[in-house]
Amino acid sequence: MKKLKRSARLVEMTQYLLTRPHTLISLTAFADRYQSAKSSISEDLAIIKEVFEEEGLGELHTLAGAAGGVKYTPKMADAEALSIMNGICRQLEQPERVLAGGYLYMTDMLGQPGLLADVGRMFATAFANAEIDVIMTVETKGIPLAYATAACMNLPVVIVRRDNKVTEGSAVSINYVSGSNKRIQTMSLARRALKEGARVLIVDDFMKAGGTIQGMMDLLYEFNAKVAGVGVFVESGELDTEERLLEDYVSLAKLTAVDMKTKQTTVVPGNYFNPIEN
Amino acid sequence: MKKLKRSARLVEMTQYLLTRPHTLISLTAFADRYQSAKSSISEDLAIIKEVFEEEGLGELHTLAGAAGGVKYTPKMADAEALSIMNGICRQLEQPERVLAGGYLYMTDMLGQPGLLADVGRMFATAFANAEIDVIMTVETKGIPLAYATAACMNLPVVIVRRDNKVTEGSAVSINYVSGSNKRIQTMSLARRALKEGARVLIVDDFMKAGGTIQGMMDLLYEFNAKVAGVGVFVESGELDTEERLLEDYVSLAKLTAVDMKTKQTTVVPGNYFNPIEN
């Protein structure tokens, strides 16, 4: 790359960092890339760090020393997250979204790149400090959420199938009971999809009793893998506590009431927005 | 937002543009946001434009006049695309990827955010000038490619299901014949997922004879929607031309030979890289 002026270098470094989240980039690599002194690079990074942090885009961590470098951790500021989530809750409350069985139609919302990028940044914020090797979801509607989160966290995604396709090679299948309607279902994952000991963040679009997520946890057990966290976009808060199969999860929104006659629903921000208990 | 120095403003504007591709942003909005004169904003944009274009990140189009503004169109330079695709072809040729039926295991690759971002930018480059309202794919493996492309093009995604789930409401289903193995299969799409007259870019991971994509086209016909383009990640080049159901598509890679005994495959860059015919 040809030597750039500071103004051009700032533009280039900003895009370079934004497109490589959760990746340690050595100062030497930047200095070589821009044919500039490390001291200039450090000054540039200080400017970028200040803007990113003031704008609530996330953190720029600088590690000192010979093996040092800089790492961008995308985050979303609490106030921005709450404002966005309130807007999402209003959308989720639209009466035409109520479907049979107390489900909500939200496929259209999960097709919007802007909404997905926001939700991905919220999950990335919630799990920024967890040690995670891979993000897992089950087809189909959790997939875009898993990828949006993965893009922010620079992690691979594995998708649990509801069948066992020929194109996947040998697979591990389990049966699980969907907690809300008590049906027995099957899910499977290609044997080569997950390494032993992998730390897994489970992401899904909707959780009622948690049977599907419990199924994914059982599957992880078969792979000797570990649950590093659970994130759901919308949880149904209509169940009694004893009906819920799991307790430790992060939800971004909570469906508190569905009136099937009037098609009125109430959706509020989820436990992601609860004050942290010490 | 508080008034920023030029250096900080460049960082902020770069991230603002990168996270809002294919979106017209008025100069007035920028001037208000940064409490700066439009002339300063224009100078900043000229710097950003030069860096983006030199780095092959895409184009920054400035529209003059009262309704004017700036729009970022992500693209990938040909040389970078070819270099990345050659690396992807070498990965696809790994012998352990060969599965029964001449399929290739590539689920792991389609789980990598970096690869997906690259492929999304290639499709966004190929279809940058097409008029497209929505990107469509069929579950499951095409989904990450569709979202990666959608993120670059700022377009919504609709996912065709291989079943008809209760959570989708009423749906249109069609039967189609998978071209390669002649089996009759079903695909369906929620009635509310697609508007009449929508111009649709179809994206999928793998194309043999093209039966699945032809099925999606038939489905579009039922919705009175139009095909605006077809992009496939890998096409199988093992078929005779008369066995292929469609001609007009963009492929990023082409599987030219599979030896099931030795598990040797040859994968070359697809027709995306062919010289343009005039």
- B55 and A158 within 8 Å at the Cβ level: the answer is no
Q: How far, in Å, CA of B40 to CA of B6, rounded? A: 9
| Confidence at residue B165, expressed as pLDDT on a 0 to 100 scale | 63
DSSP notation for A22-55: T--EEHHHHHHHHT--HHHHHHHHHHHHHHHHHT
Residues A160, A241 share a domain: yes
Does residue B1 lie within any of the structural domains? Answer: no
Residues B20, B101 share a domain: no
Query: Which candidate from B14, B111, B169 shows the least CB-CB separation from A14?
Result: B14
Does residue A86 lie within any of the structural domains? Answer: yes
Does residue A144 lie within any of the structural domains? Answer: yes
The residues that bridge with B104 in the sheet, in sequence order, are B98
- A107 and B19 within 8 Å at the Cβ level: the answer is no
Distance of alpha carbon B254 from the chain centroid: 17
Both tokens of A21, joined, read: 């989240």
Which is it for the CA torsion B20, B23, B24, B26, positive or negative?
Answer: negative
Interface test with B, best of A11, A103, A104, A207 (most B CBs within 10 A): A11
| pLDDT tens over chain A, length 278 residues | 677 889 999 999 999 999 999 999 999 999 999 999 999 999 999 999 999 999 999 999 998 877 789 999 999 999 999 999 999 999 999 998 988 777 788 999 999 999 999 999 999 999 999 999 999 999 989 999 999 999 999 999 999 998 766 567 788 999 988 766 678 889 999 888 999 999 999 999 999 889 999 999 999 999 999 999 999 999 998 776 677 788 899 999 999 988 888 889 999 999 999 976 54
Residues B252, B267 share a domain: yes
- A15 and B11 within 8 Å at the Cβ level: the answer is no
Q: Residue B49's domain is classified under what CATH number?
A: 1.10.10.10
Residues B89, B10 share a domain: no
Q: Which residues of B touch A52 (CB under 8 A)?
A: 11, 15
| Confidence at residue B278, expressed as pLDDT on a 0 to 100 scale | 41
Query: Residue A230: how many CB atoms within 10 A of its CB?
Result: 24
Choosing from B31, B59, B74, the residue where a domain stops is B74
| Confidence at residue A179, expressed as pLDDT on a 0 to 100 scale | 61
Q: What is the pLDDT of residues A226-273, one digit of tens each?
A: 999 999 999 998 776 677 788 899 999 999 988 888 889 999 999 999
Classify residue A36 as exposed, middle or buried by CB count within 10 Å of its CB (0-12, 13-18, 19+): middle
Please name the residues between 205 and 264 in chain A that touch chain B, using a CB distance below 8 Å. Answer: 206
Interface test with A, best of B140, B154, B160 (most A CBs within 10 A): B140
Check CB contact of B24 with chain A, cutoff 8 Å: no
Residue type, B192: R
Q: What are phi and psi of A176, to 5 degrees?
A: -145, 160
The three-state secondary structure class of A253 is strand
- B147 and A148 within 8 Å at the Cβ level: the answer is yes
- With beta carbons less than 8 A apart as the criterion, state whether A74 and A152 touch: yes
| Confidence at residue B136, expressed as pLDDT on a 0 to 100 scale | 98
Does residue A1 lie within any of the structural domains? Answer: no
| Confidence at residue A201, expressed as pLDDT on a 0 to 100 scale | 98
| Confidence at residue B155, expressed as pLDDT on a 0 to 100 scale | 97
Does residue A278 lie within any of the structural domains? Answer: no
Residue ranges for chain B with pLDDT beneath 50: 278
The residues that bridge with A176 in the sheet, in sequence order, are A185
Tell me the nearest-neighbour CA distance from A149 into chain B, angstroms: 10
Q: How far, in Å, CA of A254 to CA of A86, rounded? A: 11
Q: Which helix (H) or strand (E) holds A205?
A: strand A199-207
Instruction: Look at residues B187, B181, B227 and name the one whose alpha carbon lies nearest to residue B208.
Output: B181
Query: Residue A90: how many CB atoms within 10 A of its CB?
Result: 10
Q: Which residues of A touch B52 (CB under 8 A)?
A: 11, 15
Does residue A115 lie within any of the structural domains? Answer: yes
pTM as predicted = 0.94
- A139 and B140 within 8 Å at the Cβ level: the answer is yes
Q: Which residues of A touch B14 (CB under 8 A)?
A: 10-11, 14-15, 18
The residues that bridge with B134 in the sheet, in sequence order, are B200
Please report, for residues A7, A30, A43, A45, A63, the alpha-carbon distance to residue A39 in angstroms, rounded to integers and kept in the order given: 16, 11, 6, 10, 14
Distance separating the N- and C-terminal Cα atoms of chain B: 50
3-state secondary structure B165-201: CHHHCCEEEEEEECCCCCCEEEEEEEHHHCCCCCEEE
DSSP notation for A78-97: HHHHHHHHHHHHHHHT-GGG
Tell me the nearest-neighbour CA distance from B208 into chain A, angstroms: 13
DSSP notation for B115-171: HHHHHHHHHHHHTTTS--SEEEEETTTTHHHHHHHHHHHT--EEEEBSS--GGG-SE
- Residue B69's contacts (CB-CB under 8 Å, 6 or more residues apart) are B24, B25, B26, B27, B29, B62, B63
Choosing from A21, A53, A74, the residue where a domain stops is A74
Residues A82, A63 share a domain: no
| Confidence at residue A180, expressed as pLDDT on a 0 to 100 scale | 60
Q: Which helix (H) or strand (E) holds A267?
A: strand A264-269
- Residue B143's contacts (CB-CB under 8 Å, 6 or more residues apart) are A140, A143, A144, A147, B137, B157, B159
- A47 and B167 within 8 Å at the Cβ level: the answer is no
Interface test with B, best of A72, A140, A192 (most B CBs within 10 A): A140
| Confidence at residue B101, expressed as pLDDT on a 0 to 100 scale | 72
- B51 and A14 within 8 Å at the Cβ level: the answer is no
Count interface pairs A-B at CB distance under 8 A.
166
Residues B92, B67 share a domain: no
Q: How far, in Å, CA of A233 to CA of A84, rounded? A: 13
Please name the residues between 130 and 159 in chain A that touch chain B, using a CB distance below 8 Å. Answer: 139-141, 143-144, 147-148, 150-151, 154-159
Q: How far, in Å, CA of A239 to CA of A242, rounded? A: 8
- A144 and B140 within 8 Å at the Cβ level: the answer is no
Check CB contact of B190 with chain A, cutoff 8 Å: yes
This complex has an ipTM of: 0.92
Q: Chain B residue closest to A57 (CA)?
A: B15
Q: How far, in Å, CA of B48 to CA of B13, rounded? A: 8
Does residue B129 lie within any of the structural domains? Answer: yes
Both tokens of A232, joined, read: 């759901």
Residues B147, B39 share a domain: no
Residues A138, A59 share a domain: no
Q: How far, in Å, CA of A220 to CA of B18, rounded? A: 36
Residues A266, A130 share a domain: yes
State which residues form the domain around B124: 78-273
- With beta carbons less than 8 A apart as the criterion, state whether B154 and B20 touch: yes
Does residue B278 lie within any of the structural domains? Answer: no
- With beta carbons less than 8 A apart as the criterion, state whether B123 and B145 touch: yes
Q: Which residues of A touch B140 (CB under 8 A)?
A: 139-140, 143, 159, 161, 165
Check CB contact of B95 with chain A, cutoff 8 Å: no
Residues B25, B136 share a domain: no
Residues A222, A151 share a domain: yes
- B193 and A108 within 8 Å at the Cβ level: the answer is yes
- B140 and A150 within 8 Å at the Cβ level: the answer is no
Residues B170, B34 share a domain: no
Q: Which helix (H) or strand (E) holds A114?
A: helix A113-126
Check CB contact of B198 with chain A, cutoff 8 Å: no
Both tokens of A40, joined, read: 């200039």
Q: How far, in Å, CA of B269 to CA of A210, rounded? A: 44
Q: At what angle do helices A6-18 and B6-18 cross, to 10 degrees?
A: 40
Choosing from A74, A108, A126, the residue where a domain stops is A74
- With beta carbons less than 8 A apart as the criterion, state whether A11 and B14 touch: yes
Tell me the nearest-neighbour CA distance from B58 into chain A, angstroms: 12
Q: How far, in Å, CA of A4 to CA of B44, rounded? A: 15
Q: Chain B residue closest to A153 (CA)?
A: B113
Instruction: Look at residues A202, A120, A53, A197 and name the one whose alpha carbon lies nearest to residue B117.
Output: A120
What radius of gyration, in Å, describes the C-alpha atoms of chain A? 21
Tell me the nearest-neighbour CA distance from B248 into chain A, angstroms: 25
Q: What is the pLDDT of residues B136-192, one digit of tens each?
A: 999 989 999 999 999 999 999 999 998 766 567 788 999 988 765 678 889 999 888
Residue type, A142: G
The tally of domains found in chain A comes to 2
- B151 and A113 within 8 Å at the Cβ level: the answer is yes
Residue with tokens 């994130």: A231
- With beta carbons less than 8 A apart as the criterion, state whether A257 and A241 touch: no
Check CB contact of A47 with chain B, cutoff 8 Å: yes
Query: Which candidate from B4, B141, B154 shows the least CB-CB separation from A113?
Result: B154
Q: Which residues of A touch B192 (CB under 8 A)?
A: 105, 108
Tell me the nearest-neighbour CA distance from A65 into chain B, angstroms: 26
Q: Residue B84's domain is classified under what CATH number?
A: 3.40.50.2020
Classify residue A102 as exposed, middle or buried by CB count within 10 Å of its CB (0-12, 13-18, 19+): middle
